[in-house]
Structure 1
Amino acid sequence: MRCNNREFRLTKLECRQVLIYAIKKAIDKYNFRMYGLCLMSNHIHYLIEPLQPSDLPKIMHWLNWYTALCFNQMLNRTGHFWEKRYHSTG
């Protein structure tokens, strides 16, 4: 996932901590395996495996919604936080 307008919004430690917290909540909620995470200053790469393949859109929707909500509150902004829908490959 990339930040809207390719802006560097993930540089603060607090944003990184919120992301880790959101991932832990998502794992508890949707029960998936995470094999890798690469957090850059303006985008994120996940390597996850849902136990039910049909859960992938639900997982990504929830992660994007929850992190956007938290980041927008933290950064005192409104509107889209993420640029586009996620991309998945199998």
Structure 2
Amino acid sequence: MKANVFLAGALFGAVVSVGCAAVAQERPFVDIGERHGNLRDAQQHIVAAWQAISRGQQANNDALGGHAARAKDLLSQADTEIRLAADVANEHNRNW
């Protein structure tokens, strides 16, 4: 009985951990228009870097010590910040 409870708890913990990792690494995408060409260009580079890291992870069977995953997380954060910068520019009627 105790083993079943332990296994159920371990399985639940694993599912929650995977779910959190998936949410933490939102895949970046380009959603800034041509009005902000420099910011759009930066987003495109972030997407390209994310894709290159993903290919590297696949080629190395995800055995990169967590560093590639961390890099992807930081790219997601950068993508979010660039979107926010475009929003601020729109609020102030600026073109970047």
TM-score of the aligned structures, taking structure 1 as reference length: 0.37
Name the structure where strand makes up a greater proportion of residues. Answer: 1
| Higher RCO, Cα 8 Å, sep 6+ | 1
Name the structure where helix makes up a greater proportion of residues. Answer: 2
TM-score of the aligned structures, taking structure 2 as reference length: 0.35
